[in-house]
């Protein structure tokens, strides 16, 4: 399908959201992603295709992707994406993915590493919009105080007394202790982790060490970003 760029929104730090209108109605589940193809001149060795989570919630109707821009060091794909003007189109396929919520009434621990926050914006706004009681904690690690979607997520958290967002900035990382403190009963919540690939791999080990049942864990990997 073709997605037409409606507008862009500057987010915290080096992140920007791109808001698109699909050329046909699209239904998706909060937490899913799409596959994008953006042909451009002087394509570097990372190519002209990428995956991006849909950071908008289904009730918002538009498709939003949110990503970082590394300036001169950015890939040719990102340079082309960030040069897009409203009205221009990009080809996309999907949606797909299993980083979704099956049981809205469960207790959740959402672990986010930096831009790995994108699926949680969709998931948390969707749960709120559906009138679910959001229960659990979000453990949000970021390299600095430029915390993407901070205000929007806190606005939702205010309406859900059983949901709390804890931040881990700079050298302070989400670790086994932080997980234990967020969920003293490690057997009951569902643990989600989303962020740079090496971070998610590190959490797989932490979950094993904490003896969290594997069926209670979900992962979303973002290749192409360094961590820590």
Ligand X SMILES: Cc1cc2nc3c(=O)[nH]c(=O)nc-3n(C[C@H](O)[C@H](O)[C@H](O)COP(=O)(O)OP(=O)(O)OC[C@H]3O[C@@H](n4cnc5c(N)ncnc54)[C@H](O)[C@@H]3O)c2cc1C
The residues that touch ligand X, with contacts defined as CB under 6 A, are 33, 46, 50-53, 66-68, 70, 73-75, 77-78, 115, 118, 221-226
CB of 76 vs ligand X, minimal distance in Å: 8
Say how far residue 133 (Cα) sits from the centre of its chain.
21
CB of 66 vs ligand X, minimal distance in Å: 6
Q: Which residue has the tokens 């987010």?
A: 11
Rounded to the nearest 10 degrees, the angle between the axes of helix 118-129 and helix 150-158 is 30
Q: Which residue is nearest to ligand X (CB)?
A: 224
CB of 131 vs ligand X, minimal distance in Å: 26
Question: Which of residues 31 and 182 has its CB atom nearest to ligand X in the complex?
Answer: 31
Question: Which of residues 113 and 189 has its CB atom nearest to ligand X in the complex?
Answer: 113
CA gap 8, 87 in Å, rounded: 11
CB of 183 vs ligand X, minimal distance in Å: 25
Question: Which of residues 83 and 226 has its CB atom nearest to ligand X in the complex?
Answer: 226
Question: Which of residues 114 and 136 has its CB atom nearest to ligand X in the complex?
Answer: 114
Cα dihedral 99, 223, 60, 122 in deg (nearest 10)? 40
Residue environment code for 137-152, b if the CB has 16+ CB neighbours within 10 A, otherwise e:
bbbbbbeeeebbbbee
Question: Which of residues 33 and 191 has its CB atom nearest to ligand X in the complex?
Answer: 33
Q: Which residues contact 102 (CB under 8 A, 6 or more apart)?
A: none
CB of 17 vs ligand X, minimal distance in Å: 10
Q: Strands, E, within 27-169: which ranges?
A: 33-37, 49-53, 63-68, 89-96, 107-113, 135-142, 163-169
């Amino acid at each position: 399908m073709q997605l037409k760029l409606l507008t862009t929104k500057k987010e915290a730090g080096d992140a920007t959201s791109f808001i698109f209108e699909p050329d046909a109605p699209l239904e998706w589940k909060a937490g899913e992603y799409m596959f994008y193809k953006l042909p451009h001149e002087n394509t570097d060795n990372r190519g002209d295709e990428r995956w991006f989570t849909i950071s908008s919630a289904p009730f918002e109707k538009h498709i939003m992707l949110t990503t970082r821009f590394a300036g001169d060091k950015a890939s040719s794909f990102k340079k082309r994406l960030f040069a897009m003007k409203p009205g221009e189109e990009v080809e996309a396929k999907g949606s797909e993915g299993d980083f979704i919520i099956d049981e809205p009434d469960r207790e959740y621990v959402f672990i986010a590493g930096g831009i790995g926050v994108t699926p949680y914006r969709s998931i948390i706004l969707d749960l709120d919009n559906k009138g679910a009681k959001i229960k659990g904690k979000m453990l949000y690690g970021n390299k600095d105080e430029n915390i993407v979607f901070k205000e929007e997520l806190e606005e939702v958290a205010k309406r859900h007394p059983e949901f709390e967002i804890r931040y881990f900035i700079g050298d302070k990382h989400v670790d086994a202790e932080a997980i234990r403190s967020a969920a003293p009963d490690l057997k009951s919540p569902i643990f989600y982790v989303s962020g740079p690939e090496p971070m998610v791999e590190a959490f797989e080990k932490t979950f094993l060490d904490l003896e969290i049942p594997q069926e209670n864990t979900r992962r979303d990997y973002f290749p192409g970003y360094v961590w820590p």
